């Protein structure tokens, strides 16, 4: 059973991107080669249409708002030895697919324990990303260091991770239609890792030009608090962790203050939310082991297996302990493995 590609990098945005691209070269080239069939299958459109749309409707917004993260992506293209235009549209893969199709994705839950905080996450996405996620430990110039589970085309953001300020992040998509123009989600979420305190997070997530809606769950070890920010078209709302010390989120809006009229809420999303709250309702289950078990539940629909090539499935599960700076990640699928530990600023030897 093969593990994740692991990248350790630091320095300027371009330097980190080059390191990342070199490590993820094989996965990126395979994704680029498969993308024509992928977009045709998911959307009925040709890949050339997706590339033109990304260049015309997303790239100008990214240049203006996130030039540093765009430099990281240019570095990834350089390190992988592929053209920038063959990489940029991949960083907006979810937006492009969601213009014509809306697969639901991901489940997250935060726990407050007597000693610290835990954040659990199931990463659900099309099966072509099975075996292609990356673990990255980065030490950027002038910004917090971080450890993240991510996709081979973006250094951090769309899945889950933590920074050296003791904050862990996990992301779930919301069921709103994608806007035609604006900032792709991955650039907004990459900015999460720049947060130095929890008070920074709402301003990072609530971006008026964002193409899609997302829910970001944050667990802070120093502040012993967790909350979810639901950022939807037209506004954002914060869900605080209740006194029982559990906060779960899937793919539908829970805040009454947000506009639900254009949201598509699925039965699966509500089922997974109820399952997390049920499986972790007892104090004795609120441990790292209990969280791993809950995320691995097939019977409750949390561990998902796509029946078709264009249906989301669980490609990885993670349990994050930001106080100890450790992230436990399990690769799912035919070549999957049990949870393995990865440390921010430390080397951890896993038992095979």
Tens of pLDDT, residue by residue over 26-52, are 999 988 888 777 777 767 777 888 889
Query: What pLDDT is stored for residue 103 in this prediction?
Result: 59
Residue 256 and residue 181 share a domain: yes
The answer to whether position 148 is within a domain reads no
Encoded tokens for 19: 């390191």
Query: What pLDDT is stored for residue 149 in this prediction?
Result: 98
SS3 content of the chain, % helix, strand, coil (to 5): 35, 25, 40
Query: Rounded distance, CA 106 to CA 27, Å?
Result: 22
Q: Which residues pair with 146 in a beta bridge?
A: 138, 163
Longest dimension (CA), the chain: 53
Instruction: Identify the H or E element spanning 136.
Output: strand 134-140
Residue 329 and residue 226 share a domain: yes
pLDDT > 50? residue 216: yes
Q: Residue 312's pLDDT band (boundaries 50, 70, 90)?
A: confident
Residue 208 and residue 274 share a domain: yes
pLDDT > 60? residue 134: yes
CATH number at residue 225: 3.60.60.10
Residue 180 and residue 320 share a domain: yes
Residue 234 and residue 122 share a domain: yes
Residue 121 and residue 44 share a domain: no
Domain enclosing residue 60, as ranges: 5-98
Which residue, 104, 27, 116, is CA-closest to 319?
A: 116
The answer to whether position 146 is within a domain reads no
Mean pLDDT computed over 18-25: 97
Domain count of the fold of the chain: 2
Contact indicator for 288, 321 with CB cutoff of 8 Å: yes
pLDDT > 50? residue 63: yes
Q: What is the mean pLDDT of the chain?
A: 92
Tell how far CA 162 is from the center of its chain: 11
The answer to whether position 104 is within a domain reads no
Residue 77 and residue 172 share a domain: no
pLDDT > 80? residue 126: yes
Q: Residue 1's pLDDT band (boundaries 50, 70, 90)?
A: very low
- Judged by average pLDDT, the poorest of 179-183, 191-195, 347-351 is 347-351
Burial (CB count <10 Å: 0-12, 13-18, 19+), residue 164: middle
Q: pLDDT by residue (tens digit) across 108-117?
A: 999 999 989 9
Which residue, 200, 191, 132, 129, is CA-closest to 161?
A: 191
The answer to whether position 147 is within a domain reads no
Whole-Å CA distances, 200 to 193, 195, 203, 229, 234: 10, 6, 6, 12, 20
Residue 269 and residue 231 share a domain: yes
- 321 phi, psi to nearest 5 deg: -120, 90
Residue 182 and residue 276 share a domain: yes
Q: pLDDT by residue (tens digit) across 252-263?
A: 999 989 988 888
Query: What pLDDT is stored for residue 307 in this prediction?
Result: 64
Query: What pLDDT is stored for residue 351 in this prediction?
Result: 66
Which residue, 141, 65, 128, is CA-closest to 312?
A: 128
Q: What is the CA radius of gyration of the chain?
A: 18
- Across the beta sheet with 326-331, the strand order is 246-249, 107-112, 117-125, 313-321, 326-331, 340-343
Query: Rounded distance, CA 334 to CA 331, Å?
Result: 9
Q: Residue 240's pLDDT band (boundaries 50, 70, 90)?
A: very high
CATH number at residue 68: 1.10.10
Residue 67 and residue 116 share a domain: no
Number of Cβ within 10 Å of residue 55's Cβ equals: 15
Mean pLDDT computed over 314-323: 97
Q: Residue 56's pLDDT band (boundaries 50, 70, 90)?
A: very high
Which residue, 270, 291, 271, is CA-closest to 282?
A: 291
Mean pLDDT computed over 69-98: 93
Which residue, 25, 24, 212, 37, is CA-closest to 134?
A: 24
Q: If you write DSSP's letter for every residue of 310-331 in order, what string do you get? A: TS-EEEEEEEEETTTTEEEEEE
Q: pLDDT by residue (tens digit) across 144-175?
A: 999 999 999 999 999 999 999 999 999 999 98
- Judged by average pLDDT, the poorest of 26-40, 204-218, 240-254, 285-299 is 26-40
Task: Single out the residue in 73, 98, 123 at which a domain terminates.
Answer: 98
Contact indicator for 260, 253 with CB cutoff of 8 Å: yes
The answer to whether position 272 is within a domain reads yes
Mean pLDDT computed over 6-25: 97
Encoded tokens for 70: 């765009």
Which residue, 305, 298, 269, is CA-closest to 127?
A: 305
Residue 118 and residue 69 share a domain: no
Encoded tokens for 113: 């324990």
Q: Residue 217's pLDDT band (boundaries 50, 70, 90)?
A: very high
Query: Rounded distance, CA 316 to CA 332, Å?
Result: 5
The answer to whether position 80 is within a domain reads yes
Residue 209 and residue 86 share a domain: no
Looking only at the bridges linking them, the beta strands covering 117-125 and 313-321 are antiparallel
Whole-Å CA distances, 26 to 216, 227, 242, 307: 30, 37, 44, 26
Burial letters for 14-35: b for 16+ Cβ neighbours within 10 Å, e otherwise?
Answer: bbbbbbbbbbbbebbeebbeeb
For the entire predicted model, the pTM comes to: 0.95
Q: Residue 352's pLDDT band (boundaries 50, 70, 90)?
A: low
The answer to whether position 150 is within a domain reads no
């Amino acid at each position: 059973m093969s593990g994740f590609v692991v990248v350790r990098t630091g320095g300027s945005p371009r330097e980190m991107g080059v390191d990342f691209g070199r490590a993820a070269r094989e996965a990126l080239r395979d994704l680029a080669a498969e993308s024509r069939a992928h977009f045709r299958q998911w959307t009925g459109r040709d890949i050339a249409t997706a590339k033109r749309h990304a260049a015309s409707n997303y790239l100008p917004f990214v240049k203006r708002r996130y030039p540093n993260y765009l430099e990281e992506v240019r570095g990834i293209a350089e390190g992988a030895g592929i053209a920038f235009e063959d990489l940029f549209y991949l960083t907006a893969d979810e937006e492009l697919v969601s213009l014509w199709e809306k697969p639901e994705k991901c489940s997250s839950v935060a726990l407050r324990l007597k000693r610290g905080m835990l954040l659990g996450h199931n990463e659900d996405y099309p099966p072509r990303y099975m075996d292609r996620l990356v673990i990255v430990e980065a030490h950027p110039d002038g910004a917090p260091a971080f450890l993240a589970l991510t996709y081979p085309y973006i250094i951090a953001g769309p899945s889950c991770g933590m920074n050296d300020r003791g904050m862990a992040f996990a992301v779930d998509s919301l069921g709103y239609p994608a806007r035609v123009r604006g900032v792709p989600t991955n650039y907004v979420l990459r900015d999460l890792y720049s947060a130095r305190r929890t008070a920074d997070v709402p301003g990072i997530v609530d971006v008026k030009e964002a193409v899609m809606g997302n829910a970001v769950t944050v667990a802070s070890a120093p502040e012993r608090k967790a909350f979810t920010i639901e950022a939807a078209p037209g506004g954002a709302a914060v869900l605080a962790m209740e006194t029982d010390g559990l906060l779960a989120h899937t793919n539908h809006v829970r805040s009454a203050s947000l506009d639900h009229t254009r949201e598509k809420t699925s039965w699966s999303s509500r089922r997974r939310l109820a399952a997390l709250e049920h499986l972790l309702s007892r104090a004795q289950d609120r441990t790292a082991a209990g969280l791993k078990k809950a995320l691995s539940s097939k019977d409750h629909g949390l561990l998902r297996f796509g029946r078709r090539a264009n249906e989301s499935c669980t490609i990885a599960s993670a349990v994050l302990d930001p106080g100890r700076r450790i992230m436990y990640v399990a690769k799912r699928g035919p070549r999957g493995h049990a949870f393995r530990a990865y440390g921010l600023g430390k080397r951890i030897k896993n038992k095979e």
